[in-house]
């Protein structure tokens, strides 16, 4: 019997992508045959960058990562995952606060669509970083060079006119 191919979806708004997200993607390369970074629109978040802008930033960062691609999607993530033939959802955990929400989401995804979720802890050095925090600090002109990739920092400075 041959080895089963595992295609994982790493969904999020990635608005913007952080070094914490990149850390999870880089570790996923060694775990799965294929990883699709799936950029979705969050109806509950006031997005700074459009999904297509986020896809462009991520494309620049993953170009040398084998088996990793990025796409945007609309609607339910589990429906998108099914259309892409993904058998697993990858989620990064930063802290205990994330666990309760992510656990509930994973249980719902499994009940609704039969898709499993695998959690990967982000590196300790990025455990406090969120896209929301990044947007707030950037809007106030703070130095984010150790928390986000250079291409993201450049776009944030352009967006906030700095």
Q: Is 44 a catalytic residue?
A: no
CATH number for 7-159: choose from 1.10.600.10, 3.40.50.620, 3.40.309.10, 2.60.40.10.
3.40.50.620
Q: Is 45 a catalytic residue?
A: yes
Q: Which residues contact 58 (CB under 8 A, 6 or more apart)?
A: 14, 17, 37, 39, 70
Q: Please state, for a pLDDT cut of 90, what percent of the chain lies above it.
A: 81
List the catalytic residue out of 45, 125, 157, 162. Answer: 45
List the catalytic residue out of 72, 91, 131, 135. Answer: 131
**Taking the CA of residue 65 as centre, how many other CA atoms within 13 Å lie in the half-sphere pointing to its CB?**
24
What pLDDT, in 10s, does the model give residues 30-43? 899 999 999 998 77
3-class DSSP state for residue 73? Answer: strand
Instruction: Look up the pTM and report it.
Output: 0.93
CA-to-CA separations, 38 to 72, 138, 155, in angstroms, rounded? 5, 24, 20
Averaged over 131-156, what is the pLDDT?
94
| Gap between the Cα atoms of 93 and 108, Å rounded | 17
Of residues 140, 3, 29, the one with CA closest to residue 90: 29
């Amino acid at each position: 019997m041959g080895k089963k191919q595992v295609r994982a979806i790493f969904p999020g708004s990635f608005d913007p992508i952080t070094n914490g997200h990149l850390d999870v993607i880089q570790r996923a390369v060694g775990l799965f045959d294929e990883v699709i970074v799936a950029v979705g629109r969050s109806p509950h978040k006031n997005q700074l960058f459009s999904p297509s802008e986020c896809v462009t930033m991520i494309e620049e960062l993953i170009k040398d990562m084998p088996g990793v691609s990025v796409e945007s999607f609309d609607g339910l993530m589990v429906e998108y995952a099914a259309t892409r033939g993904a058998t697993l959802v990858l989620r990064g955990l930063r802290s205990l606060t994330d666990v309760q929400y992510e656990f509930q989401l994973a249980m719902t995804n499994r009940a609704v669509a039969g898709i499993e979720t695998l959690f990967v802890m982000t590196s300790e050095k990025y455990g406090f970083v969120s896209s929301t925090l990044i947007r707030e600090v950037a809007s106030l002109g703070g130095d984010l060079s150790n928390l986000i990739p250079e291409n993201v920092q450049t776009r944030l400075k352009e967006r906030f006119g700095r």
